[in-house]
Structure 1
Amino acid sequence: MKVLSICYMLPPAMYPQAIQIGRLLYHSKLEHHVITADLEHEPRKLGVYNDFANRVARINHYKEAKQLPSLLHKVLYYFAPFYGACPDNFKPWAKNVFSDYSAKLDSKAETQSDCIVSFGVPMSDHLLAMKLKAKYGTPWIAHFSDPWSDNPFKKHHILSKFINKKLEEIVISAADEVIFTSEETKKLVMSKYPDLQKGVVLGHSYDAALYPEAQAQAQAHREDGKTVIKHIGSLYGYRSPKPLFKALHSLHLEEPELLKNVCFEFVGYVAPRMKNNTDLKALPEGLVHFKGGVDYMQSLSEMSSSDALMIIDAPATESVFLPSKLIDYVGSKRPILAITPNGTSQKLVKRMGFATANPEDNSAIKDMLKSYLKQRQEYCQPLLDGTFDAVYREFSTEAILTKFDAIVERLGKK
């Protein structure tokens, strides 16, 4: 079965989207012909899936659409209501691709596909797929890594928000199937379209083959006996470590002995303003360490060498996002401490048998830290008694790929 897969970002680009969707296509048993961007400005050192081009049937690279000068781009982005907002900056790219690729189909230089799969973000991928379906009648699946018009972290002008709602409705109505990465995202989006009988949930996956060989073994005791709890990934915007710093400050004042020989390590970019924090400055030297960014393979090694891993999400009434980092954490088989609101991540971490605390509840965060530091053996018990295993199996590459290929085959054979 020939599948036309449209994804602006794929390996070797170093974006979470490129890694997650690249993983799907890399391991899929179907014949994928790929449309993606030629990201010439991106560093080519992902260090994973380096033979991606050999694992898919064909890659059609299309150059990025010309952008405005950087300064003008930033000014318009922040002050012009519609600039890059309906749905994003990649609409000219999608238009150019449609013109070229449809000409190849019309001239028989390309053969028709049995199915189209588009991956957003960017949402312009879906607009491209929709135009191809409209012209050629090919069955089409739209995959959403994030919500579209309901995304709480995308601040739109009232008119651009209206336009995006209409675009979302048109896309979801036209697609033969829609994939979401969490049940909460599906409910949020599809509740607006109760008459449409579509929408399936397919989470991210981890690739067990990429972790260090020793990751399945019990964590070796460090020579200095130090306990290292790590957060892997960038922190900026609404996602901030300040709730952790506040809880650590309270714990340091109440039970300082608990924090002796403990280190909270941040591996990845942390916005400078988040480090300029009074609670952080009041903590003893060495309790918090900022390590800086690493590449993807190094990040998996960092996870596997930790005593525990920390999730930090932005405050929300309910979070519908399934962070790909959380699924990478699952693959490392380490205990997890999650500062996250009610929603997708919170439910998943609890299913694993670990604790969660709301970002706005200092007392709950402090109690979660105490639970781990005072009763480490009991806290890690879900890794030994089978509680964790069901989640580990559910998000493996094999499990997710079996579902993905089945969805595509079902649509492509119609």
Structure 2
Amino acid sequence: MNRRQRKVLVVTYYFPPSGGAGVQRPLKFVRYLREFGWEPVVLTARDADYPAFDESLLQEVPAGVKVYRSRILEPYRLYRRFTGRRMDEATDIATLTRDEAAARNFKERLAEFVRAAFFVPDARIAWLFFAVPLGLKILRAEKIDAIFSTAPPYTTNLIGLFLHRFSGVPWVADFRDSWIGWLSAPQWRPRLARALELWMEESVLRYSSRVLAVSHGVKEDLLSRHPHLRDDRWIVLPNGYDRQDFQGVQPKPLDRRITITYTGSLYGNRNPEFLLQALERLLERDKRLGKKLLIRFVGRVGEPILRRIGQSPARDLIEHIPYVPHRESLSYLLASDYALLIIDDAPVNRGILTGKLFEYIGSGIPILALAPEGDAAELIRKYRLGYVVPPKDANKIEEVLTEILRRGRPCQSGVSGVLAEQARSRFERRNLTAELAKILDSVTKEGE
């Protein structure tokens, strides 16, 4: 008699038609879990105010996978109207990008205070009141064997916590980012709000059957606030790339210039300021630089950064392609000589292993990383994937760009060698999903 295929409830805010980086990890797990003995059932939000939409990703959800969408209340429409921002402005850019004038604006400062004081842990907290009742119904109706929740938003892991505590079903809490004080969270909160948030964070870490982090840096940042919870439940399961995403993607026409491409969002502290300074210095020395070099940004860019680029003497070296569907962004990436990674030099960012890095690894294109010492720099050096330059050192960036121009267009076969192939195998989404399936196996065996 065949054993019933086990089921896992995947609780995720980001799910197609959501676009952007946050959707990739849960979507790829859902795509491949069946191959390893687990049937995914998804609990997500209905009509959510996503920062980006990509309808094409709906095609990646396997046929027959049940997707439940609960009601959600989000305040961002009111926020945009109150502060006078465009109604179509992405929520992450709206809340994390403020120039000096906006920072002094009373409405902006009041909105930021409300966010910090009342929306704990984040602006999706009201989703919990709809998702938990629906989740409990799903657990019973679908005979769920395990729960997997992934954050941010951190409300998602609170939903996992309540479902686990009410049902006793084993629960895996996943952290794509750390929590308190991280880039995507308010840097300041009133004392009571911060105490509540710290209690929420501690509760999630205390009661989860396993705690997954995408990097050692994320893991250690969480544990720095809760060292008493360091035990064998913690597992680093990195982000990755999907080999299937590249199949059938036709590169855009190759530019005659050496092309360095960044795919993704740029806003807040994730800023190309020192790259611009390096380009301006190079342009002073070589007026023909515009015929040799192209920097291409593909994705959403905050208005302060766009203004800075527009005012720069090096603006003709830069091309901005607004947000495009995922496969089209890959076609721009594959038409590049180098893939650009930008990580701001702040202590909290040194543990970042962004999903973009692994997509660059999957492309096989050499990486130019403007990154501090930390997990990303270590990985790039370990597998010999490209250059690592301090992100706020315009002189070093200028030196590396000069070296790139001197060496000319790299081999079109991209990064090769044993180490690079090891990296592509290690971080392939199907292989990472196999690791997740083993984790789910272990937590369900403990509950038997």
Output the TM-score relative to the length of structure 2. Answer: 0.82
Instruction: Look up the match of 2:88.
Output: none
Instruction: Look up the match of 2:340.
Output: 310
**Aligned pair partner of 1:370 in 393, 397, 402:** 402
1:88 aligns with 2:122: yes
Secondary structure, in 3 states, of the residue corresponding to 1:141? strand
Distance 2:10 2:417 in 1: 40
Matches within 5 A, 1:284-303: 286-303=316-333
One-letter amino acid of the counterpart of residue 19, structure 2? M
* Cα drift, residue 64 of structure 1: 1.5
Please tell me the root mean square deviation across aligned C-alpha atoms, in Å: 2.8
**Aligned pair partner of 1:164 in 180, 184, 197:** 197
Asked whether the 8 Å contact 1:349–1:356 carries over to 2, the reply is yes
* Cα drift, residue 91 of structure 1: 1.9
Q: Mean alpha-carbon deviation: is it higher for 14-23 or for 255-264?
A: 255-264
Asked whether the 8 Å contact 1:340–1:358 carries over to 2, the reply is yes
1:19 aligns with 2:24: yes
Asked whether the 8 Å contact 1:258–1:373 carries over to 2, the reply is no
One-letter amino acid of the counterpart of residue 211, structure 2? V
**Aligned pair partner of 2:144 in 113, 123, 135:** 113
1:36 aligns with 2:66: no
Secondary structure, in 3 states, of the residue corresponding to 1:47? helix
* Cα drift, residue 70 of structure 1: 3.9
Assess, with a 3 A threshold, how the Cα gap between structure 1 residues 77 and 112 changes in structure 2: closer, same or farther: farther
1:262 aligns with 2:293: yes
1:347 aligns with 2:355: no
One-letter amino acid of the counterpart of residue 68, structure 2? N
Q: Mean alpha-carbon deviation: is it higher for 116-125 or for 8-17?
A: 8-17
Assess, with a 3 A threshold, how the Cα gap between structure 1 residues 408 and 376 changes in structure 2: closer, same or farther: farther
Assess, with a 3 A threshold, how the Cα gap between structure 1 residues 196 and 362 changes in structure 2: closer, same or farther: same
**Count of aligned pairs:** 405
Assess, with a 3 A threshold, how the Cα gap between structure 1 residues 303 and 314 changes in structure 2: closer, same or farther: same
One-letter amino acid of the counterpart of residue 234, structure 2? G
Instruction: Look up the match of 1:8.
Output: 13
**Aligned pair partner of 1:204 in 239, 253, 276:** 239
Asked whether the 8 Å contact 1:258–1:374 carries over to 2, the reply is no
Assess, with a 3 A threshold, how the Cα gap between structure 1 residues 294 and 381 changes in structure 2: closer, same or farther: closer
* Cα drift, residue 307 of structure 1: 1.3
Instruction: Look up the match of 2:369.
Output: 338
Instruction: Look up the match of 1:136.
Output: 167
* Cα drift, residue 207 of structure 1: 1.1
* Cα drift, residue 150 of structure 1: 3.8
Output the TM-score relative to the length of structure 1. Answer: 0.88
Secondary structure, in 3 states, of the residue corresponding to 1:203? coil
1:186 aligns with 2:186: no
Distance 1:55 1:373 in 2: 51
Asked whether the 8 Å contact 1:231–1:265 carries over to 2, the reply is yes
Instruction: Look up the match of 1:396.
Output: 428
Distance 1:45 1:167 in 2: 32
Distance 2:229 2:138 in 1: 36
**Aligned pair partner of 2:351 in 320, 326, 342:** 320
Distance 2:416 2:309 in 1: 39
1:50 aligns with 2:59: yes
Distance 1:389 1:270 in 2: 32
Query: What's the % identity of the aligned pairs?
Result: 22
1:173 aligns with 2:206: yes
1:335-360 deviations in Å (ceiling 9; x for gaps) = 11111112222222222321111121
1:252 aligns with 2:283: yes
Assess, with a 3 A threshold, how the Cα gap between structure 1 residues 380 and 85 changes in structure 2: closer, same or farther: farther
Assess, with a 3 A threshold, how the Cα gap between structure 1 residues 156 and 380 changes in structure 2: closer, same or farther: farther
Assess, with a 3 A threshold, how the Cα gap between structure 1 residues 81 and 266 changes in structure 2: closer, same or farther: closer
Assess, with a 3 A threshold, how the Cα gap between structure 1 residues 207 and 382 changes in structure 2: closer, same or farther: closer
Structure 1: any 5+ residue segments left out of the alignment?
none
Secondary structure, in 3 states, of the residue corresponding to 2:172? strand
Assess, with a 3 A threshold, how the Cα gap between structure 1 residues 290 and 279 changes in structure 2: closer, same or farther: closer
Secondary structure, in 3 states, of the residue corresponding to 2:197? helix
Assess, with a 3 A threshold, how the Cα gap between structure 1 residues 71 and 279 changes in structure 2: closer, same or farther: closer
Distance 1:62 1:271 in 2: 31
1:257-309 deviations in Å (ceiling 9; x for gaps) = 666422111222222322333896223x6322222221111011111111111
Distance 2:62 2:69 in 1: 11
Structure 2: any 5+ residue segments left out of the alignment?
1-5, 84-106
Asked whether the 8 Å contact 1:119–1:142 carries over to 2, the reply is yes
